[in-house]
Amino acid sequence: MHIPRSIHDNLRFLTAEVGSQIYHLQTYIDTFSVTVAQRILDRSGYAHNLMMRIQNSCLNRIAGNKGSETDPVALRAVESIATDLEHISQLCRDCIHQMSHLRRRRCLRRRAYQPLLARVANGIELIEPALHDNDTRLALKIGRIEQRLDLAYRRLLKHYTARLKQRRHTEDLISALFVAHAVEQMGDALLNVSEAIISANLGQPINIDRYHSLRASVEQLGGEDAFSDLTIRPIAETRSGSGISGIASANQEESEYVAIYKDGKKQKLKEEREGVESWHEIFPGLAPRILSYHKRGQSAALLIEHLPGLTFEQILLHEPPRLLKQALRRLSGTLETIWEETKTRQAVPADHMGQLRKRMPEVYSIHPEFQQATSRICGHRIASFDELITTAQRYEEKLQPPFSVYIHGDFNVDNIIYDPLERRINFIDLHRSRYMDYVQDVSVFMVSNYRLKVLDPPLRQRILDICRDFYRFTSSYATKAGDKSFELRLALGLARSFATSTRFILDETLARAMFLRARYLIELVLSTAPKKARAFQVPVKEIFVG
């Protein structure tokens, strides 16, 4: 990778300095020479100053766009490497301090530490060539040192623990154990260095487990040599922590992906795989194909078919009105077909107020001003929002849906893809798919349109028009299906989505507007007798304006 000369030189000095301190630590363990110990302690400022120079240079280049030839990911990697190298330097000093307390030096088991420190020194020597040559194999070799140090530390821990149970030389054994722990932490620092180099090579943050999962997944596309012929481009990070990347051939355009790579928590990706497979059984052709699935510890990775087209969000914000109308018409037709083909008489209520109650602690942690007690204004009692939820939850129990359908479960505008050439709708991010009240998807879709951070008046009007058109379609479907409580359930679903969405919004004006809409809708529902459900209508225009 290309690193500016000044940063490269300082990193080279820092690498040499830390390597020198490891050598002196090895010497001290053999000799317990006070002069050698002092040499390590006196050099603390030099390593720290080098780290600060590197960090400041990297930050200045990133912030000022001065290093246009240098990838910001590479600069962040170098910054991270400098931090970890300085941390190793600090761990050397920690070892000196702990060993200075030893009264019986035989407690240290000196011969056990020399090969471990030799491995650390070897890892430090590999940093510069790994960076200079963009050598991922060398980076992986640096990372593997952590595993060996960790294994050696466990053996030392077992030894020292057994000795401590004898209750002899306790202080010396504790100091020796702290030295072992410090050396083990050096391995953690080298693992961080390894991951920083790999991240710079791939152009996105990545850890060792994710790298191995990514490599195994990509090799599914074309054998062992496929990985070197493909590029990985970060697309997004989900709120749950999953990373989403596009896999493309080196000579392809930015958006022409061979496949989509998604990694994250094993449970979530397992649910998504199961959701996709369920859609293939229930409604073939709507969900992308799973190309591969890999588990590694508590993480997992999916390689998913790349679907051509645009997300509904992209069409709404950037494409001409004709294409938007076409996409909405196709979406409406697809939904009606799905609902009719998957309809079942077994009612599965969405329990919107139950969902809302579970999310309110997260909402209050971001917007504590929303959490207010019951109050009175001129003698009129104003219920707290939590009290409203409790009352509305009892009310909602009387609004059983007449049927259930197979829903998307996270029906946001960025999880819907429309291919204008094929005139086809596809769904992605399907880990929450299940049989449930279709109002769940309807309400989520409408609010996901509203919460788009768009201030341009014509675009806001466009969003309102989409919400009204989608509402007309779903309301018409409910009438044909004999769903008498659709409007009341929709109002509660919209209230849930408006309120829970505020936990992702820091804009106080937008968050407050959404929260007040949620309260208004709940109060509106509670003021309507269940017997008059057919006369109730969601005030869509008033709710979605502004």
> Does the pLDDT of residue 363 top 70, yes or no?
yes
Query: Residues 264, 273: contact at Cβ < 8 Å?
Result: no
CA distance 84 to 424: 50
Nearest CA to 492 among 430, 433, 536? 536
Q: How many CB atoms lie within 10 A of CB 458?
A: 8
Cβ neighbours for 292, distance < 8 A, ≥ 6 positions apart: 216, 217, 220, 301, 302, 303
> Does the pLDDT of residue 226 top 60, yes or no?
no
Q: What's the Rg (C-alpha) of the chain?
A: 30
CA distance 26 to 21: 9
pLDDT of residue 22: 93
pLDDT of residue 10: 92
Give pLDDT tens digits for 267-309: 888 888 888 899 998 888 899 988 878 776 677 778 888 888 8
Beta bridge pairs of residue 302: 262, 293
> Does the pLDDT of residue 373 top 70, yes or no?
yes
Q: How far is CA 435 from the centre of its chain?
A: 27
The mean per-residue pLDDT over the stretch 502-523 comes to: 92
Domain 310-544 sits in CATH 3.90.1200.10:
yes
Give pLDDT tens digits for 423-437: 999 998 888 999 999
CA distance 415 to 449: 12
pLDDT-above-70 percentage for the chain: 89
**Binning pLDDT at 50, 70 and 90, where does residue 532 land?**
confident
Beta bridge pairs of residue 274: none
**Binning pLDDT at 50, 70 and 90, where does residue 452 land?**
confident
Q: Give the start-to-end residue ranges of the domains of the chain.
A: 5-203, 210-305, 310-544
Asked which of 113-117, 123-127, 217-221, 452-456 is least confident by mean pLDDT, the reply is 217-221
Whole-prediction pTM: 0.72
Give pLDDT tens digits for 3-29: 788 888 999 999 999 999 999 999 988
Residue 406 phi, psi dihedral angles, 5° rounding: -85, 115
Helix (H, G, I), strand (E, B) or coil at 290: strand
Helix (H, G, I), strand (E, B) or coil at 385: helix
Helices (H), 32-135: 34-42, 44-64, 72-99, 110-132
Cβ neighbours for 23, distance < 8 A, ≥ 6 positions apart: 121
Asked which of 233-242, 258-267, 346-355 is least confident by mean pLDDT, the reply is 233-242
Cβ neighbours for 338, distance < 8 A, ≥ 6 positions apart: 283, 286, 405, 406
**Binning pLDDT at 50, 70 and 90, where does residue 67 land?**
very low
The CATH number assigned to the domain with range 5-203 reads 1.20.58.220
**Binning pLDDT at 50, 70 and 90, where does residue 534 land?**
confident
Asked which of 15-19, 137-141, 234-238, 418-422 is least confident by mean pLDDT, the reply is 234-238
Tokens of 435: 């049989």
Mean pLDDT for the chain? 86
Query: Residues 465, 324: contact at Cβ < 8 Å?
Result: no
The CATH number assigned to the domain with range 210-305 reads 3.30.200.20
**Binning pLDDT at 50, 70 and 90, where does residue 257 land?**
confident
CA distance 355 to 370: 17
Query: Residues 241, 265: contact at Cβ < 8 Å?
Result: yes
pLDDT of residue 235: 65
